[in-house]
Amino acid sequence: MISAAISGLKLWVLAVVFLVENYYPNPAAQFLIGYGHEWGIFMKKNQSIALQWYRSSAEQNYAPAEYRLGVAYDRGKGVGRNPKVAVAWYRRSAEHGYAIAQNNLAAM
């Protein structure tokens, strides 16, 4: 019974991904799909796919996605480590009022 519920939930997640990708490019939804790929929540972990979703969301000025891109470049997660690019993403997120990005920016 539990495995059937999990399978049904995975199908639901796939349906949401399909709708967001093809019909409803909402930055918060794109961010959540990226987050799911980054951490393996209801889908396989895949940092490069996560970064694609984060970038789509960040292009629409969604601060949490900008922050996650900063983290990726800061730590070299799925991309080459690049502190200058990390600072640019942290700054952009911080300018949109994202407190964690402001903290990371101050620490660099």
Query: Tens-digit pLDDT profile for the chain (108 aa)?
Result: 455 544 556 666 676 677 767 766 889 989 989 999 999 987 889 999 999 999 999 999 999 999 999 999 999 999 999 999 999 999 999 999 999 999 999 998
pLDDT of residue 42: 78
Amino acid letter for position 81: R
pTM of the model: 0.82
Closest CA to 100 of 70, 60, 59, 76: 70
- Residue 74's alpha-carbon distances to 29, 55, 58, 85, 86, in angstroms, are 24, 15, 16, 8, 5
pLDDT of residue 12: 65
Ordered domains of the chain (ranges, CATH): 2-107 (1.25.40.10)
pLDDT of residue 94: 97
Residues in the chain: 108
pLDDT of residue 63: 97
